[in-house]
Chains A and B, each alone.
Chain A
C-alpha cells in the first residue's frame, strides 16, 4: 500500500489544487463458539484507499478497494470535484500536537489462528464448568488496523492499532425459567478481558432470584447499570453531539441535570476508539461535551467545523467508501457528585435496576427515545434486590430522563471498550 498511496498522491498533485491520500488496511481474525463447539473461523483482510481533492475551491472524493488504476481514480475525483461543495478548509496538515496513546499490543498483532483456537478452547472449557445448562453464542475477535495519511503538503503520518473483543450472549435454562446472560467488551490492550468476562458471567449466574409478581408503577425509580447506560445512550449521544445537526438546522443544546459531565475522549489508553489523530490528521484530545449538565461543545470534522468557523475537534472519521464525518471517539461519563452504588440501591423504596435491554438498546437517535423490553432487570424493594423483572417494557426519553438524575454511582466501568460510565439513578421512567 505504501508505494500505491505515494504514486497516487504525486499523480493527483499534477491535476488538482490540493490532494490528500488516506489508506486503511485491516486484518481481522474471528472464532465463533456455539454451545461448547467452535463452529466457525474467519479471517478478513480489507484495504481501502481514499483520494480527497480540492479543485477550484470544490471538494471531490473517491475511494477504491482492490485493484485500481491511478488515472481512473483521478478521473472520478475530477467528476466529483466539479460538482462538490465549495469549502474553505485546506488539506494541508502539519501533524502537530499529537499525544501518545496506548493502542497497540505486540502480542495481539502476532495472534494467529492457532492461538485463537487455544483461547477458544480455554473459553469453552471455562463456560462448560459453569453449568451444563448454558446455551450460548460467543465471538472472539482480534483486529489489526494500519492507517496512513499523506496530506497536501507532503507530510505523512501513520499508526497501527490492535484490539481484541468478546461478544457473548447466553441463556441459562432451568426447569421453570431461563435467564439471559451477556458480556460485550473490547480493548486495545490484549486478551486479559477474558478473565473479566468469566467473572462477569459468574456474577450474573449467581444472582438467582424469583420472578417479580408485584405490580410496578407506570412511572418508576430506575437504576441503569453501566451496561444499560451504554445500550441506551450511545447512539443518542452520537446524534445529539454531532456538529452536523447544526447544519441541518436541528441543533438543540441539551440541558441535563447538573450532576452529569460527558466527554468525548480520543486519547484514553487502550480504549478502542482512541488514536493519536483522526482520519483527517487532526490531533485527538479529550473534549468536554457536557459540563455540569450544560452542553458546551459538539463534535466536528474539518468540513462541518468549516461551516461554523470552528476548528475540527479531532472527530473526522471515514466509513467504508464514505468521506470524513463527525464520529464520536470514546464517551466518558462522570458525576459531579458520586454515591456508592450499594447506598443508591439501599436508598430506593420501590424501583428497578436494569442491566440489559432488548436488541442491545438500538435507540432511535433521531428522536432521542429508547423504547424496548428489559432482558435482565431486578425489582428493588426497601433497598434490596428481591426479584427478577421479566417482560417489562422500558421507555427512556434521553433529554428528559437525564434531567431527572437523582444520583450517579461510583462504579465507572468501560463498556465495549468505547464508553466509560457509572450507573445512573433516574426518577419517573416509563415502565409498562
Chain B
C-alpha cells in the first residue's frame, strides 16, 4: 500500500503534506458479576491527510484510502493555501524505516476468555467481595506515515490493557481497581494473578477507619501514585502546546528551578517494549528521549513540530495521536521519575503524624491547580501506619514539588495507565516512579 501512497504524494512535492494510515484488529472482553458480558472483535482501517501552513493547518480523516488523491485536494482547499510553495516545511530528517507488518493476534480468543474468567472466579471468591468487573482490550495495528519530503515509516503498534475491579460492601460500596498493561504481550495477564489478588485482599482488609481534618500534612506517595502525580501535575504542564504563561506569577523558563533537588524526570519513548514505546512519533520524528527536569531544574519542554516551531527549537518527538480520527498533539510516552536513595521504611519512620497514600483513582487539573484521588490512604503516627482514611483528595499546584524531601530507591513500572488530553482519551503510556515523601501537601475530604 505504501508504494501507492508514495506515488500519489509525489505529485504534491511542492507542498508539505503528511499521510497517516492505520490498519489492525482489536479485541474487547468484559466480565461483570459472575458473567461474561462482552466478547467482541473489530477490524479497523482508516487514515488522515494533514497540511500545516504557517498560520493554519488542515486535517481530513477517512476510511476509504482509494480516494486519497481527492482527500489531499480537499485538504489543500481547507488550508486555504493559495501559493504553490508551503513556507512552513520545517527542516527535518528524511527517513525510510519499514517494519514488517504484524497486525495480527497470536493468542486465541478462547485462551484469553478462559484466562479472564479464571481471574473473575478468583476475585469473586475473595472474602468480602460482592461483585467484580473485568475489562480487557488489546489492539494489534500497523501504522504508515509518509510525507511529501520523502519519509516513509511503517511501525507496528501493539497494546494491551486490562482492569480488574472488585466491589465490596462493607458498610459502603468500595470499588477496588487494579490495572495491567503491556505492548501487546499477553504474558502480563498470565503472570499477574497473585499480584492482583494480593492487592485486592490488602484493600479489602478490615481496617480501623479514622477521619482527618482538612489541612496540610506530610505525605508519602507510593510508586503508582507518585508517578501519576508527577505525570499529571508536572508532565502535562510542560507539554509544549499547553504551557501556561505564568504560574504563581512565575514563568516556567528553561533553566529555572521548579522542584526540589531530589526530582529528575525523563520522557523515554526510546525504551523498547513498553506501552509508550516507539521509534518515530506520528509526525515522523525520531524519538530519542528527553530529560525534562534534572535535579529540580527545568531542562526541556516536550514538543511536536508545531510547538517546537513556536519556541524555535527542534521537536522532541512527542507528537502522538490516539487513532486516525485525531491529529497528533504533544503527549508523553514512557514517563520516568528517576530513583533517589531513600528506602520506604525510613520514609515512614520520618513521619510523626501524616499520611501514606497508594494507588490512583482519578483526578483533574486546569493545568495549574490539581485535585488527585488516591485509591487508598492510611494515617501514619509516630513512624507507623495505623488506620485507614476513606475518600481523601490531594490538592495544590506545581509548587508542591518544592516540598519533596525524599525519593525512594526502588522504582515500580506502571503499565496499567493511559493518558487523556483534550478529546483524545486512553493513549497508551507507561510511568516508572519510586516512593516520594512530601513534607507538606493539602489533604481534604475525609469522611467515613
Q: Mark A198-226, 1 if CB is under 8 A from B, else 0.
A: 00000000000000000000100000000
Query: Do A358 and B373 touch across chains, with their CB atoms under 8 A apart?
Result: no
Query: Do B56 and A46 touch across chains, with their CB atoms under 8 A apart?
Result: no
A351 within 8 Å of B (CB atoms): no
- In the complex the two chains form, what is the Cα distance from A421 to B390 in whole Å? 32
| A61: chain B residues within 8 A (beta carbon) | 38-41
- In the complex the two chains form, what is the Cα distance from A287 to B61 in whole Å? 37
Query: Do A39 and B56 touch across chains, with their CB atoms under 8 A apart?
Result: yes
Query: Do A362 and B36 touch across chains, with their CB atoms under 8 A apart?
Result: no
- In the complex the two chains form, what is the Cα distance from A205 to B42 in whole Å? 48
Interface hit among B25-33, B153-161, B190-198, B279-287: B25-33
Chain B facing A: main interface SS = strand
Query: Do A72 and B43 touch across chains, with their CB atoms under 8 A apart?
Result: yes
Query: Do A367 and B391 touch across chains, with their CB atoms under 8 A apart?
Result: yes
Count of chain A residues near B, Cβ 8 A: 59
Within 8 A of B (CB), among A64-99: 64-68, 72-73, 76, 79-80, 82-85
Query: Do A41 and B61 touch across chains, with their CB atoms under 8 A apart?
Result: no
A358-B371 contact in complex given A83-B110, A113-B77, A430-B445, C-beta closer than 8 Å: yes
B79 within 8 Å of A (CB atoms): yes
Most-contacted residue by chain B among A37, A79, A250, A391 (CB, 10 A): A250
Within 8 A of A (CB), among B155-210: 167, 169, 173, 175
Query: Do A63 and B63 touch across chains, with their CB atoms under 8 A apart?
Result: no
- In the complex the two chains form, what is the Cα distance from A303 to B39 in whole Å? 13
Across the interface, A40 reaches (CB within 8 A) one of B57, B74, B77, namely: B57
B133 within 8 Å of A (CB atoms): yes
B55 within 8 Å of A (CB atoms): yes
Most-contacted residue by chain B among A73, A362, A371, A391 (CB, 10 A): A371
Across the interface, A321 reaches (CB within 8 A) one of B42, B80, B110, B130, namely: B42
- In the complex the two chains form, what is the Cα distance from A227 to B213 in whole Å? 31
| A64: chain B residues within 8 A (beta carbon) | 42-45
Across the interface, B109 reaches (CB within 8 A) one of A83, A322, A373, namely: A83
Query: Do A323 and B38 touch across chains, with their CB atoms under 8 A apart?
Result: yes
| B391: chain A residues within 8 A (beta carbon) | 367, 369
Query: Do B44 and A65 touch across chains, with their CB atoms under 8 A apart?
Result: yes
- In the complex the two chains form, what is the Cα distance from A64 to B74 in whole Å? 25
B331 within 8 Å of A (CB atoms): no
Query: Do A41 and B78 touch across chains, with their CB atoms under 8 A apart?
Result: yes
Query: Do B364 and A362 touch across chains, with their CB atoms under 8 A apart?
Result: yes
Query: Do A76 and B41 touch across chains, with their CB atoms under 8 A apart?
Result: yes
| A296: chain B residues within 8 A (beta carbon) | none
| B41: chain A residues within 8 A (beta carbon) | 61-63, 76, 79-80
Query: Do B33 and A62 touch across chains, with their CB atoms under 8 A apart?
Result: no
Residues of chain B touching chain A, judged by Cβ–Cβ distance below 8 Å, are 23, 26, 28, 32-33, 35-46, 55-65, 74, 77-80, 109-110, 113, 130-133, 167, 169, 173, 175, 214, 325, 327, 361-362, 364-366, 369, 371, 373, 391, 393, 395, 444-445
13 contacts between A and B (CB under 8 A): A41-B80, A66-B45, A66-B65, A67-B65, A83-B113, A247-B37, A248-B167, A303-B37, A364-B361, A366-B362, A371-B373, A371-B393, A375-B366
